[in-house]
Structure 1
């Protein structure tokens, strides 16, 4: 699965969770691949499909995209893990991090619900 497909897959997961999802992922997206909105809150979501750990630069990009996309906060979703520096920066900026374990749980829930329909 390539990066663009991963963005769409993450978007489908968040749609399943009740979010409205806008795909923004394109060159010049300013660190925001998806805009997730629910209950009046807008979240700038950066997706990273990596084999290695995601560094604090992804958090910096996501946080910087918040005012550009008129969002309330940032989120970074990865199929990998986050470095300690990324976790520390995310905590300081209230940026939600979803790593491979949390993402795996969301995927399992999504598949379970799809199987029951």
Structure 2
């Protein structure tokens, strides 16, 4: 079930409200004064006639400013709603009681408070898909949200999201699912730039950002590196890949069970620490 096509108003409302308002003011100035000034520099009677009809552009300029102001107001209302949505959660059951759209907004707000910029793609729906795109530090992460309460996410869903990684030029995939994941799904994700976030992990992430303790590197505090990887005060920082400089993620060796840092751009880059 899709969400329909986005239009210019939706794109403006998806921006931070001050940005949408600033676009409205700049557009008003450009239409009201910039366009007549442009025609004034051109030769010909038609251009000169338009240059003198400055009042003719006023209605268009006001319409643009009004549309951007409404989009800014919508963005402000949505931002407050997302904040209330996250702050009102008191336990995992309250998250499970949300509708699938609010569940996506909740997950997006949790990542937003970790410093990510969030794009609600409109490519997903009640049955999943790419619901969010996270951007931070030049890295793009695809996110799918599954509010399945009594079903575990199968390996096919994880494999499908991994296939979209290269297609969309992203660096990593995250799947948030209340019901958890099958063993095959968890096994497939090992050694790949895929983070599986089950219900308890998601709840701990929500609690962290509610208290203002969300990790600066975007990783929930509950997913700390193992003791062998903690070297001192800087252990909370995610290292950069020694080969390409991209952000690294925690992975587990399938044979030995030992944790290590692997490049989020794997398999394009196989840098490890």
Q: TM-score, normalised by structure 2?
A: 0.38
Q: Which residue of 1 aligns with 2:257?
A: none
Deviations, residues 60-107 of structure 1 (Å, cap 9, x unaligned): 222122123221121111122111011011114331111111101111
Aligned to 1:45: 143
User: What's 2:64 paired with?
Assistant: none
Name stretches of at least 5 consecutive residues in structure 1 with no aligned partner. Answer: none
Gaps of 5+ in 2: 1-97, 213-273
Equivalent residue for 1:60, pick from 153, 156, 159: 159
**What CA distance in whole angstroms lies between the structure 2 residues aligned with 1:25 and 1:110?**
25
- Superimposed CA distance per residue, residues 34-66 of structure 1 (whole angstroms, 9 cap, x where no aligned partner): 111111111111111101111112212221221
CA–CA distance in structure 1, aligned partners of residues 101 and 164 of structure 2: 18
Does the aligned pair in 2 maintain the 1:53–1:81 contact within 8 Å?
yes
Q: Hey, what does 1:96 align to over in structure 2?
A: 195
Q: TM-score, normalised by structure 1?
A: 0.85
Instruction: Show the 5 A alignment for 1:100-115.
Output: 100-113=199-212
Which of 108, 124, 138 is the equivalent residue of 1:11?
108
Name the structure with the higher strand share. 1
Q: Of the two, which has the highest radius of gyration? A: 2
Bigger relative contact order (CA 8 A; separation at least 6): 1
